[in-house]
A and B are shown apart, each in its own frame.
Chain A
Amino acid sequence: MPGNSVLEVSNLATCFTGSAGVVKAVNGVTFAVKAGQTLGVVGESGCGKSVMCLSLVGLIGPPGRIVSGEVWLNGQDLLQLSPKEIRRVRGREIALVFQDPMTSLNPILTVGTQLTETIVSHEEVSKAEARRRALELLARVGLPDPERLMRRYPFQLSGGMCQRVMIAMALSLQPKVLIADEPTTALDVTVQAQILAELKRLQKELGMAIVLITHDLGVVAAMADEVAVMYAGSIVEYGPTVEIFASPGHPYTRALLRSVPRLGGEEELAPIEGQPPTLLNPPGYCAFLPRCTQAGEECSGDKPGLHPFGPGRYVACCLRGER
């Protein structure tokens, strides 16, 4: 994949070992994000999106284990760093924003305490300087009256305000990459639009890369420059958003796009039949095979890997692409 990326992930795999067997939550994921660009990662619930982002910053605890892969950022492989070194990367180089803003803030500490703590724990600055920066950040994410807000507790804020605070916290150390794990799922639609617009504006101002994890195709269409479609722990399609939405290459992507209602659309909604596969002891063949409507003879073989499918596009399907 092209060279000028800030974050390059290759062949990342994370497993959870339990009494029933091995759950391959993330199974050989490869992607890259350029500075100032957004990669949308879409997929159903339980396809390994969240585990993947936690794996990127080494936040997978037992019984989970990263079994292979490389995560390159700034010329260093994050998976090779010591716990102390990776801690310095978290927040400073890669920041995370989680799904539920109400629970991501400590309920018994004020917004101000939590914000300044993040700054002070990473940089040698005085309390006063950290406070000044915190105020600036709160204003920057579009929150009114930062002075007052600093003294507030999370439960006194609305969900949208909490998420803005979380974003402010994530941006406090000016990370190169922001991983947003379903940042707007828990919010009202109107607030969702505001937050997304805010993220886009901040991205432009700060030139950071965003990895946007979501199951909402509308959000991806609005935000992402590139899309990675995940299924059963693997990426099945990867490429520029516009092209993938115009002509999906993988049967799963096509089915996913068809299952979204469109205003004024004549087509009937087509849900994807069957259940997403369990990630416990996955079979050797294509994971989508049981649900695929186009499966043919050639699909019964080994699980297909990503291969080129047009300029800048990749598909993991036995039926498509140059093999």
Chain B
Amino acid sequence: MRMSRAERLEAVRHGLLVSVLRKLAGDRLALLGLGIILTVVAVAFLAPYVANDPVKVDLAKRLAPSSALFPLGTDHLGRCILSRLIYGTQVSLPIAGLTLAVIMLIGIPIGILSGYCGGRVDNIIMRVVDVLLAFPSLVLALVIAGMLGPGLINVLIALASVWWVEYARFVRAIVLSVKAKEFVLAARASGTSDVGIMTRHILPDVLSPVIVLATLDMGKLILVISGLSFLGLGAQPPAPEWGAMLNDGRPYLQVAPQLMLYPGLAIMTVVLAFNLLGDGLRDALDPRDTVRV
């Protein structure tokens, strides 16, 4: 998707956000992704109005198939699966978002520092990163989550402590290329402080690729958090977390596949939506398209 000069000038006049939205508008798959995400977010907010009590046990109606009252049937404790899925959005999305925020808050500053300072600082940071990267991150997260004990906050801590290295490495690579640009030298020559250069000249250049990576990672995080919950480390019963729901449904796969089918579909849809949006954003935020004429 290339823009003409006039369009680009228009983009600059209207600011980055509008130009990105305008470009996204031409990308159907990304729009689909965005649509799904917005719908899921809306569902999360509207949960109390559209769903029944997700933890109300009714053993008389256990493992019921779809019906007017329970559109997706009930689980092994007679709880409404649709209601649990709807309330599940209140668990999965915020915890994934929060984890991502923590990851970025750690990874971006460390990456900028490492890339900008270079030398010994860079060496030390990058060796730590190498060590963490050399270890399968999911296994490491499992170990940390296992040590901290089950619970969503512990999952967050575990994931953030292994995942920030990816951002540090990614950001450092961008900083290395931005740092060599002449405008950074010019800024130093006019007496701008190192902190000033890092925050005002380098950070903005780093942000747009990081936004793309973060969008794609949001999907991955939802998946991993569900995975950890599935293994019993994340959300604890009776919390309606999607991964935990998968785990709950496991013994009944043959008699009542809806217990695992619907949470699985929900996870897949949301992850797919974030991936589609991330791909679209990557195209829309490509600096080669907006910065140079």
Contact = CB atoms under 8 A, between A and B. Distances in A.
Interface of A: 57, 59, 61-62, 87-92, 95-96, 98, 100, 103-109, 117-118, 121-122, 153, 155-156, 166, 169-170, 173
B189 A103 contact: no
Given A87-B193, A153-B12, A104 B188 contact: no
Contacts of B191: 87-92, 118, 121-122, 173
Contacts of B252: none
A76 to B, nearest CB: 16
Nearest to B187: A106
Given A62-B119, A155-B292, A57 B200 contact: no
Given A57-B189, A122-B191, A169-B190, A117 B205 contact: no
Q: Pick the 5 closest A-B CB pairs, nearest first.
A: A91-B191, A90-B191, A91-B190, A96-B189, A103-B182
Contacts of B193: 87, 121
Contacts of B192: 91, 117-118, 121
B196 interface: yes
Contacts of A98: 182, 185-186, 189
Given A91-B189, A95-B190, A100 B204 contact: no
B186 A96 contact: yes
Contact of A156 (B12, B182, B186, B205): B12
B183 interface: yes
Interface in B169-215: 181-183, 185-193, 196, 200-201, 204-205
Contacts, number: 74
A8 to B, nearest CB: 20
12 contacts: A57-B189, A61-B118, A62-B119, A90-B188, A98-B185, A104-B186, A106-B187, A107-B292, A108-B204, A109-B201, A118-B192, A155-B292
B205 A104 contact: no
Contacts of A104: 182-183, 185-186
A160 B190 CA distance: 20
B293 interface: yes
B105 interface: no
A275 to B, nearest CB: 27
B196 to A, nearest CB: 6
A103 B190 contact: no
Given A57-B189, A105-B186, A170-B190, 20 more contacts: A59-B185, A87-B193, A90-B191, A91-B191, A91-B192, A98-B185, A98-B186, A104-B185, A105-B183, A106-B201, A107-B183, A107-B292, A108-B291, A109-B200, A109-B204, A117-B192, A121-B190, A121-B196, A156-B9, A173-B191
Nearest to B208: A108
A106 B183 contact: yes
A107 B9 CA distance: 13
A118 B183 contact: no
A122 B189 CA distance: 12
Interface in B78-133: 118-119
Contacts of A61: 118
B291 A155 contact: yes
A5 to B, nearest CB: 22
B181 to A, nearest CB: 6
Contacts of A92: 191
B100 to A, nearest CB: 24
Nearest to A169: B190
Contacts of A89: 191
A109 B227 CA distance: 43
Interface hub of B12, B187, B200 (most chain A Cβ within 10 A) = B187
A156 B182 CA distance: 18
Contacts of A166: 186
A90 B293 contact: no
Contacts of B118: 61-62
Contacts of A118: 190-192
Given A106-B183, A106-B201, A95 B189 contact: yes
